[in-house]
Each structure stands twice: as structure tokens, then as C-alpha cells.
Amino acid sequence: MRPLVFAGNWKMNVGPVEAREYLRAFFAAGEIPHERSVWFFPPAVSIEAVAQGIAGHRNVSVGSQDLYWEPKGAFTGATSGPLAKQSGARLALIGHSERRHVFGETDADTEKKVTAALAADLQPVLCVGETLEQREAGDTLKVVTGQLEAALGKRDGKARVTIAYEPVWAIGTGRNATPQDAAQVHGAIRGWLKDHAVTAAPFVILYGGSVNLKNTAELLAEHELDGVLVGGASLNPRDWAQLVRTAVA
């Protein structure tokens, strides 16, 4: 069995009280299968509750959904890497499409955030993906490798960075990339990572975009996919417990 990552992005849902209840229901299904890892990305206010709720459970980690690149200071509303770390985070999502498209985050911002996450000893999970317009124009690989180049291309030396390929048109829409389309883009991402030698092996590349209980097995049958990043379908603890136990060919 190959190792697989199941990452749940709760977005702006699940406060600390709900997070404790969620984890009780989630762990009632038992421990996580050996070769699988589960990562939770709760809102910043719930990181500590999740860190406490997962303590002692094998292969389960918590991360921040975003971070600001300055370590501390007068930046009202922002969460820095060191603050997320202090709350118990081990990972940080960087450049999620909602950060890029709702909050106007740029490629240059993602580069600063990756650097800040690594400085705070958080493993970055860098999200990349094309819009529908870019896909229809045949620019998918150019866009995705351009986002990698902007966020990682200037790095000196190798760092452990996970990549999440999330086509923008597939997030929260009920439309997912076909397993073959996703595998093609993952192959291009893996090729870029190998050529540029800025990330440490083993390369972990997740697929995200309307992943659910029905399509997970089919997507993960493609060995280019090392796991999934899931929004909506991670919000119900019983469904999520079932999804992370999906039988994969």
C-alpha cells in the first residue's frame, strides 16, 4: 500500500467547540490506517482545539489555512507562522485559490508565505491551479508551473514542501478533474520539482476540487496522486472518517 495524505480544509467553518465535538465523532471510527496521514486545516481560532483533540493519535496533524509573512506586530487580523506554530500547527496552506481569488493574494505573496512558513518550522502546502478560462485556452501546465516558479523558483537549497493541485473551476463546484487530467498535471508538477531541486523528496502532490466519498477511489487509483485536499466533504466527521478509509486499487 502506498502512503496517502487526506487533508481536510474546513475553510471558515467549525469553531473550537464544534472542533472538539467533530474530533470525538471522527475518532469514534477508530485509528487512522497505518499508511495514511490525515491533516486538518481549521480556521485559526480552532487550531489549538484541534491540536489538543488529535494529541496521541497516530498520523494526524493540524495546519493553518494561511499565514502572514511578518512574524509579529501591528497587522490586525493576521496570523503569523510563529503564532500558528504556538497554537499547535505543523503545516500551513499557502496560496489556496480562495486566498488568491477572494483576497487578491499574488504569486509574490505566496513566495513570501512559503519562506515565512519554513522559518516558523511549518511545512508549507502550496496550492496551485488554473481557472476555467486558462484551461480552455490550453494554458493549464504553463499556469501551474508558473505558480511553482513564482513561489519556489528562487529558493536556495531543499525544503519539504507539499503541493496541492486544485483547479479553480473544480473547487466547491461539484465538478472535478478526471483522474487522467489530474494525473497529467501531477506528472508535470513532479517533473518541475525534479528539475528544480528546491523541494526535498519524497514529493507529495495532492489533488483538490470537489473530492467526495464517491470519486475518491477513482482519483486515487492514479498513482500520480499522493492524496487529496478536501473542502466540503471534510466537514462531516463521519463521512470524513469513511473517506480516509477509502479502499484504493
How many chain residues bind ligand PEP (CB under 6 A)?
A: 14
Complex with ligand PEP: residue 22 or 198, whichever CB lies closer: 22
Cβ nearer to ligand PEP, comparing 53 with 167: 167
Identify whether 31 is a catalytic site residue: no
How far, CA to CA in Å, does 172 sit from each of 60, 64, 116, 208?
Answer: 24, 20, 28, 10
Q: Which of 96, 98, 111, 186 is catalytic?
A: 96
Instruction: Single out the catalytic residue among 98, 105, 130, 166.
Output: 166
Q: Output 185 or 198, the one with its CB closest to ligand PEP.
A: 185
Does residue 57 carry a catalytic annotation? no
Nearer to ligand PEP, 8 or 88 (CB): 8
Residues 132, 157: Cα–Cα separation, whole Å: 34
Q: Among residue numbers 10 through 49, which ones bind ligand PEP (CB under 6 A)?
A: 11
Considering the complex, what minimum distance in angstroms separates the CB of residue 108 from ligand PEP? Answer: 22
Shortest approach of ligand PEP to residue 197 CB, angstroms? 27
To ligand PEP, the closest distance from the beta carbon of 91 in angstroms equals 14
CA distance readout (Å), 88 to 44, 50, 96: 11, 8, 21
Nearer of residues 63 and 231 to ligand PEP, judged by Cβ? 231
As a whole number of angstroms, the distance between CA 77 and CA 74 comes to: 9
- Residue pair 204/160 in contact by the 8 Å Cβ criterion: no
Binding mask 191-230 for ligand PEP (x = CB under 6 A): -----------------xxxx-----------------xx
| Residues across the chain | 249
Smallest gap from Cβ 174 to ligand PEP, in A, equals 8
Q: Which among 99, 130, 126 is positioned nearest to 229, based on CA atoms? A: 126
| Range 149-188, binding ligand PEP (CB under 6 A) | 166, 171-172
The contact set with ligand PEP (CB under 6 A) reads 9, 11, 166, 171-172, 208-211, 229-233
Residues with catalytic function: 96, 166
